[in-house]
Amino acid sequence: MKQLLLLSLLFSNVLFCKAQEEVIFNDITVDKKEIKVAKTITGIEFNADLIHILPGTYTGHLFGTAETHLSYFHENRIANTWTLNKSVGLGNTFNHIYGSTLGKEVYQYSLSVDLKIEPRWYFDQRPRYAHNKSTLNNTGWFLSLPLTLSTNLLQQPVAGYNTQWLPSHFNMNIIAPPTIGYRNSLSKNLFWELSAVYIPVRALFYDGSFILKSADKIGQFSADSFNSELKIAYTF
């Protein structure tokens, strides 16, 4: 009787281990062409630029500048592991600057409208799928090249800088920095994202003139040439 019980337990364990093997390892048999990012993700995102708290020589910002953005975004699949992420929203910046006329440090608030078009490659989607890791909301590492257009709507008057809330001239900042980042889903409708950016060239359209500034002129390892962004998003 004992031998029969032991044999039954052994047989049950073999079946259990076999079932586990099928559950854990069956993903590697899936054709890589069938592993795709989400077809469409839409929602609202809030992000903060972390590096901007550091002083920047080119921008003239002192330590403590804060910049946040609130945007509507739409991300759609354009290839198996590629997406095109579009967003439009408002930027809020509290610039910590030195008012030369006032002879002291001040904070200057500005409001901007931002448009971003960003092709993304989620390069670890297939390994994550093969190892049974979550890919919800395109969770994982990505590389991207976001084209960002930004123009000021309002700017607080500060002596020595500007005298009115409305810009006297149309201006637009243009950047397309190489970016690496990581996205992680907290739930079906909520995810966070952290990215690091290097800005090799800045373009500025101001009062009919187009100005290019390379990183070597701005400072290759200055806070003006780098950025890091923390994002929290809610999907519909």
pLDDT digits (tens, 9 = 90+) for 58-107: 555 666 678 899 999 999 999 999 999 999 999 998 877 765 555 667 77
What is the C-alpha separation between 47 and 60, in angstroms, rounded?
22
pTM: 0.79
Band of the pLDDT at 189, cuts 50, 70, 90?
very high
Tell me, letter by letter, the H, E, C secondary structure of 32-94. HHHCCCCCEEEEEEEEEECHHHCCECCCCECCCCEEEEEEEEEEEEEECCEEEEEEEEEEEEE
What is the mean predicted confidence (pLDDT) over 218-230? Answer: 74
Residue 163 has pLDDT above 70, yes or no: yes
**113 phi, psi to nearest 5 deg:** -110, 135
Domain 34-235 has CATH 2.40.160: yes
Q: Provide the pLDDT for residue 1.
A: 41
Band of the pLDDT at 50, cuts 50, 70, 90?
confident
What is the C-alpha separation between 226 and 220, in angstroms, rounded?
9
What is the C-alpha separation between 175 and 159, in angstroms, rounded?
29
* 69: its two tokens: 């953005």
What is the C-alpha separation between 196 and 70, in angstroms, rounded?
19
What is the mean predicted confidence (pLDDT) over 172-188? Answer: 94
